[in-house]
Amino acid sequence: MDLSNNELNGILPDCIGSARHQSVEAQFSTFGNISYEGNPNLCGPPLSKSCGPTLGPTQLSPNEMNEDRRYEGIDFLILFGSFSLFFVVSFWGFMIVLYFKRNWRYALFTLVDQYGDMIYVKVVLSTRKIGVALTRRG
């Protein structure tokens, strides 16, 4: 099991560091410090890094900072790519369904026509009210 580079922080619970009756907890005590590498804010047994009375922010090395920045760009790219893919697939999927289902297409256009007129009237009335309120102020 590798627990490195997963941004864990804080004190490890005592049950992880000690070999208790349960085999899962005892398994954690067999891990070396290298298994927890890349987690600069992690301390306590079974790690050799002891925790002070208060856990303050630790300074990251330049290599760790560059590594974090590299992942930020990748995260943004994955997020943007997945949203774009979702939009394209759903848009064209909807268009294909409307192309083949004539009754759905007519129902959608009728609905848009009915609500479009209602929205248009509400927008015109709202802008007129705002215009009247602004002229009374000035």
**DSSP string computed for 1-36:** ---TTS--EEEPPHHHHS--SSHHHHHHTT--GGGG
Answer yes or no: are the C-beta atoms of 24 and 58 closer than 8 Å.
Answer: no
Please write the tens of the pLDDT for every residue from 11-24: 656 555 454 445 55
The encoded tokens of residue 21 equal: 């009756």
Q: C-alpha 71: how far from its chain's center?
A: 14
Full-model pTM: 0.35
Please write the tens of the pLDDT for every residue from 73-118: 778 888 899 999 999 999 999 999 999 999 999 999 999 998 998 9
